[in-house]
Every structure is written in structure tokens, then in C-alpha cells.
């Protein structure tokens, strides 16, 4: 999502969402599931499979 204050990713949790600053690692995973786990002051990224229909 592009806003006047910069580029953001939409993080969804259940029925809520949060905007977080875009990071270069997310660019390479566009269209795939990405999970970030916040622990303390750092984020651990888990990169998943592509979303959509599977064969």
C-alpha cells in the first residue's frame, strides 16, 4: 500500500489489520504468504508458499 508517508504492508490477524513499514524482504515474496513474529524488539520472518489454487 502506497501512502504519502511511505510504502506499507497490510498485516491481518483474524478480523483486524495493521499497517507496517515495507521491508525489502517482502518485495521478493509478493503474492506469497509471509508471517512475521515479533519477539522483544525484533521480527522473525517466515516465508510460505504461494497463495491460490494448487494442482
Write the pLDDT tens digit of every residue in 14-55: 788 888 888 887 787 777 777 778 888 888 877 775 555 554
pLDDT (0 to 100) of residue 53? 55
pLDDT (0 to 100) of residue 52? 53
Task: Please state, in angstroms and as integers, the Cα–Cα distance from residue 51 to each residue in 26, 48, 54, following that order.
Answer: 15, 9, 8
pLDDT (0 to 100) of residue 54? 52
Distance CA(49)–CA(29), nearest Å, equals 9
Cβ 42 vs Cβ 35: under 8 Å: no
DSSP at 51 = P
The overall pTM is greater than 0.75: no
Amino acid at each position: 500500500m502506497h501512502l504519502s508517508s511511505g510504502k506499507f504492508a497490510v498485516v491481518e490477524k483474524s478480523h483486524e489489520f495493521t499497517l507496517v513499514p515495507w521491508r525489502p524482504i517482502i518485495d521478493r515474496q509478493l503474492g506469497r504468504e509471509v508471517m512475521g513474529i515479533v519477539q522483544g524488539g525484533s521480527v522473525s520472518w517466515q516465508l510460505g508458499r504461494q497463495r491460490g489454487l494448487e494442482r
